[in-house]
A = this chain, B = another copy of it.
Amino acid sequence: MTEKLPKYDVFQAIADPTRRDVLYLLSLQKQSIAEISSHFDISRTAVVKHLNVLTEAGLVRGEKNGREKIYYLQPEPLQELQDWLTYFEQFWHNKVNKLKYIVERD
């Protein structure tokens, strides 16, 4: 009971540059916490915290494999971000729409 409501959404998850770097790393190759950590100057504990945030946002998934935990990219939640962006695209993507916006704005 008392379902733990997710604290981090996609928008918050990608706000941190370290977490964006983690996502990039995982887009190249699934890898263990130790491997991921080796790319950063911060402690392994700190990296794990970032992985937990990304997991809560649904952007990665970790699977136990022996004594290692292998993390995978789980890109689907980025669709929410794309949807959000698509709405705003009309305001700058092409000059016709941009002009339309500027005229109608006032």
Residues in chain A within 8 A of chain B (CB atoms): 11-12, 14-17, 20, 23-24, 27, 29-30, 72-73, 75-76, 78-79, 81-82, 84-85, 87-89, 91-92, 105-106
B76 touches A85 (CB 8 A): no
Q: Which of A15, A79, A84 has most B Cβ within 10 Å?
A: A15
Nearest-CB distance from A66 to chain B (Å)?
16
Most buried by B among A17, A76, A84: A84
A88 near B92: Cβ-Cβ < 8 Å: no
In the assembled complex, which residues on chain B have CB atoms less than 8 Å from the CB atom of A12?
15
Contacts of A88 in B (CB 8 A): 23, 27, 75, 78
